[in-house]
Amino acid sequence: MPMGRLSSFFSLPGISAGKKGAVMIQEENKQLIDKLHAQHSLTKPDWITLISNFTDDDRAYAADIAREIAQSKFGNRVFIRGIVEFSNYCKNDCLYCGIRRSNGRAQRYRLTDDEILSCCAEGYEIGYRTFVLQSGEDMTYTADRIAALVRRIKADFPDCAVTLSLGEREYDELKQMKEAGADRYLLRHETANQQHYELLHPAAMSFSHRMRCLHDLKALGYQTGAGMMIGAPYQTAEHLAEDMLFLREFEPHMIGMGPFLPHQDTPFAKEPKGSYELTLFLLSLCRIMLPNVLLPATTALGTIHPLGREQGILAGANVIMPNLSPTAVRKKYMLYDNKICTEDRSADCRFCLHQRMKAIGYEITVARGDYSDD
């Protein structure tokens, strides 16, 4: 059957996916992946079809295209970012997160500015040229303090990028930190659907404030990262379709996307983890949709499967974000159960990743790895 007729047949209303033959669905999915490749966008119904009915074969098809795009942009090089998890105090109470305020079992810690600086020094020695400062929403680190810290890092390591991941802050604070030299900011939107957002967060948090923050970040000239958890509680294919449409429209420079993993001391302790396969598939689709995006194979992906980060790179990701926190605090920054690399020292992680990338024919590059439109 010619392609045109196939697609018009499927667009007839009232024909549910369940009634289509498996081969036909695959043909349709491949056409949708080709359409995304050609047009860099899909309609909401297209996304829902792809997300709810894909096969391993579709995944491999998308991964081949995505990997080719990534290789044409970045070669076989993977950027690394050292993450310093400098505080697990948090004023928020996100229902999914292990460091939420109500988790009385979390052992709280804060690093001093000098301790953060020495993590960066250690990271610099082993080849990191981006430092990501991440924390819970801990207001003892005021904008003044973060700005001063960014200035010190930039003075000591002028060839390095600083990425902040501190949660939501006000425009003036974000501006102050940008002016101090911060280059990038990671703030996952978590979900583009307001009702879904409200099921994942307490009433005190607001979807519109998070979205406003993301727009502020871009307006201030940060390389900005958005993203979501795959398989978060209550998430539907329609929500994920809305996430993909949001990412298309917002065009973040970075997309942080990993599977939801439960944490035993949260209200979502008994919720099922997200799908490894769907996460890999969506990574490929993000690469095809936004070819230049900086796309990490996340720690959560490495936690859900022992070769998750390797498979993420082979699915089109081009960034890995190893831990650069002092070993003594790593187990305390537990966003979800069984997080990997919590016993390791920073140099061990660096070496391990070198080996893992080598095993799949990739190499880690000592470069800042800024976003580029080219």
Residue 136 or 252 with smaller CB distance to ligand SAH? 136
Which DSSP state fits 223? E
Residue 93 or 238 with smaller CB distance to ligand SAH? 93
Residue 188 or 309 with smaller CB distance to ligand SAH? 188
Q: Are 273 and 304 in contact (CB under 8 A)?
A: yes
Q: How far is the CB of 73 from ligand SAH (least distance, A)?
A: 25
Q: How far is the CB of 312 from ligand SAH (least distance, A)?
A: 14
293 CB-near residues (< 8 Å, 6+ apart): 252, 253, 254, 255, 286, 287, 371
Residue 236 or 338 with smaller CB distance to ligand SAH? 338
Q: How far is the CB of 88 from ligand SAH (least distance, A)?
A: 9
Residue 51 or 335 with smaller CB distance to ligand SAH? 335
Structure-token match 């967060």, residue found: 201
The kind and range of the H/E element at 3 are helix 3-10
Q: How far is the CB of 241 from ligand SAH (least distance, A)?
A: 19
Residue 58 or 137 with smaller CB distance to ligand SAH? 137
The residue type found at 157 is F
Q: How far is the CB of 176 from ligand SAH (least distance, A)?
A: 18
Q: How far is the CB of 147 from ligand SAH (least distance, A)?
A: 18
CA dist., res. 226 & res. 168, Å (int)? 12
Report the interface residues with ligand SAH, using CB under 6 A: 96-97, 134, 136-137, 165, 167, 187-188, 190, 229, 258, 260-261, 263, 300, 335-336
Q: In terms of Cα–Cα distance, which of 360, 368, 266, 370 is closest to 71? A: 360
Residue 80 or 335 with smaller CB distance to ligand SAH? 335
Strand bridging mode 229-230 / 258-259: parallel
What sign does the CA torsion over 69, 72, 74, 76 have?
positive
Residue 134 or 325 with smaller CB distance to ligand SAH? 134
Q: How far is the CB of 154 from ligand SAH (least distance, A)?
A: 21
Buried b or exposed e, range 244-277, using 16+ CB within 10 angstroms? bbbbbebebbbbbbbbbbbbebbebeebebbebb
Residue 29 or 163 with smaller CB distance to ligand SAH? 163
Please count the other Cβ atoms lying within 10 Å of the Cβ belonging to residue 331. Answer: 11
Structure-token match 């871009």, residue found: 218
CA dist., res. 97 & res. 209, Å (int)? 19
Q: How far is the CB of 300 from ligand SAH (least distance, A)?
A: 5
Please count the other Cβ atoms lying within 10 Å of the Cβ belonging to residue 320. Answer: 25
The total number of residues shown for the chain amounts to 374
Q: How far is the CB of 51 from ligand SAH (least distance, A)?
A: 18
Q: How far is the CB of 187 from ligand SAH (least distance, A)?
A: 5
The residue type found at 86 is F
Structure tokens, 130: 């981006």
Q: In terms of Cα–Cα distance, which of 126, 66, 110, 96 is closest to 322? A: 126
Q: Residue 152 burial (CB < 10 Å; 0-12/13-18/19+)?
A: middle
Residue 281 or 362 with smaller CB distance to ligand SAH? 281
